[in-house]
Amino acid sequence: MSKAHRGVGMKEFANKGRGTCPLCKRTGIKAVYEQDFDGKKVAICKQCKAAAGNGKMKEAIAAL
Ligand SMILES: [Zn+2]
């Protein structure tokens, strides 16, 4: 439980969770936060998860 996206827990992710976020297209960032878009599970970055939760990033989500 807890802190699944920090510290030792990051070892379980490929490249320690770093990669390209499919929403903001930034590279080399932590994209491990799973979000469900129309039944499609996508690992996105923290900022995009917060934005999606606030009803933003609609164009990027639609383009997935
Ligand atoms: Zn992002």
Residue 28 makes CB contacts below 8 A (sequence gap 6+) with: 18, 19, 20
Which amino acid is located at 58 in the chain? K
Q: Where are the domains of the chain?
A: 7-53
Which residues keep their CB under 5 angstroms from ion ligand 1? 21, 23-24, 45, 48
Q: Tell me, in angstroms, the distance from the centre of ligand 1 to residue 53's CA.
A: 12
Q: For each of the chain's 64 residues, which pLDDT tens digit applies?
A: 678 899 998 998 999 999 999 999 999 999 999 999 999 999 999 999 999 999 999 999 999 8
Question: Rounded to whole angstroms, what are the CA distances from 60 to 13, 15, 24, 37?
Answer: 24, 24, 7, 11
